[in-house]
Structure 1
Amino acid sequence: MSKKVTEIVEELAAPILEELQLELVEVEYVKEGKSWFLRVYIDKETGVDIEDCSNVSEKLSEKLDEADPISQNYFLEVSSPGAERPLKKDKDFLKAIGKNVYIKTYEPILDEKEFEGVLTEFDGEQVTLEVKIKTRKKTVIIPYAKIAKARLAITFS
């Protein structure tokens, strides 16, 4: 079976991002309305700017034209993951310790499937959150394998 488009794009993007000292956050290939979009989210410690996105877009576009892994027409978008960056890999969770996160689980934990709070610990097996319930704080431990989606969460004080 052939590789998924996102896996092929990740492989094509890897040397480009390494050369430019950027990190690949996520690759999405989605249909919206009648159009297909290939979205590549990149980042670096100091944050990405329009020039970083433009450089990656230009170089990746050349590689995609050579490899031609996508049969239909599509729009290539290269951007920052934004303030509510997804947490996909172990290192993302480790970098998010001490920050506010949103987590959605595949199945209920303590009768809930959605949690928002400060990520206090991550050991590769489970995530520990400190959540606020009205005026009280509660610790919630979520098995890593049960996380369907996780991202940084913006809080407004």
Structure 2
Amino acid sequence: MANVQNQEIFDLLSPVVADAGLYLEAVKVVRAGKHTSVRVIVDLESGPGGVGTDVLGDVTRAISVALDEADPVNGAYTLEVSTPGAERKLTEPRHFSRAIGHLSNVNLESEHVQGRVLSVGDDKMVLRIESKGAQEREIPLSQVRSAKVVLELKKPEGE
């Protein structure tokens, strides 16, 4: 039931989020006892950068209006709209393109590497691996088993 409801809300909100110039990453209805939350994750479609607080506020209001009009959730609920966060998992080419310029941990079929994502194509990415003297390495996305952006508390030198 929840998966059907998640998909129904996803389908309802996709054009609303797109009208705000964003990409609808995920929708999840979470029930905990008598409390229900509707969690909506939005992001930029591609490329580096972030979703500003003004844009996030605008899209949250638009999502709230759409949910109020369609009323797809029974009873009261809390609406939570956010972005994937600083340490997001990278699972599809679009995610990797959003990580350009960021340090990332990448688990491959046979090794683990950490590097800065320099570029991303349809089927590959280029990492700059600092531990190997700033070596650039092209990695087929098909070889990536898991990957995650690393939170950096200070900007790298030279940026």
| TM-score bin, normalised by smaller chain | 0.5 to 0.7
Superposition pairs for residues 60-79 of structure 1, below 5 Å? 60-71=63-74, 74-79=77-82
TM-score by length of 2: 0.61
Superposition pairs for residues 135-154 of structure 1, below 5 Å? 139=137, 141=139, 143-144=141-142, 146-148=144-146, 150-154=147-151
Aligned position for 2:8? 8
Contact 1:39/1:76, CA 8 A, preserved across alignment: yes
Matched, 1:47 2:51: yes
Q: Aligned match of 1:94 in 78, 85, 97? A: 97
Aligned position for 1:23? 22
CA drift of 1:71 comes to 4.5
Gaps of 5+ in 2: none
Distance 2:85 2:19 in 1: 22
Contact 2:10/2:27, CA 8 A, preserved across alignment: no
CA drift of 1:100 comes to 1.5
CA drift of 1:77 comes to 0.7
Contact 2:17/2:24, CA 8 A, preserved across alignment: no
Distance 2:105 2:32 in 1: 28
Distance 1:4 1:121 in 2: 36
Gaps of 5+ in 1: none
Aligned position for 2:121? 123
Note closer, same or farther for the CA distance 1:9–1:48 as it changes in structure 2 (3 Å cut): farther
The count of corresponding residues between Structure 1 and Structure 2 is: 148
Q: Aligned match of 1:58 in 53, 58, 61? A: 61
Contact 1:97/1:118, CA 8 A, preserved across alignment: yes
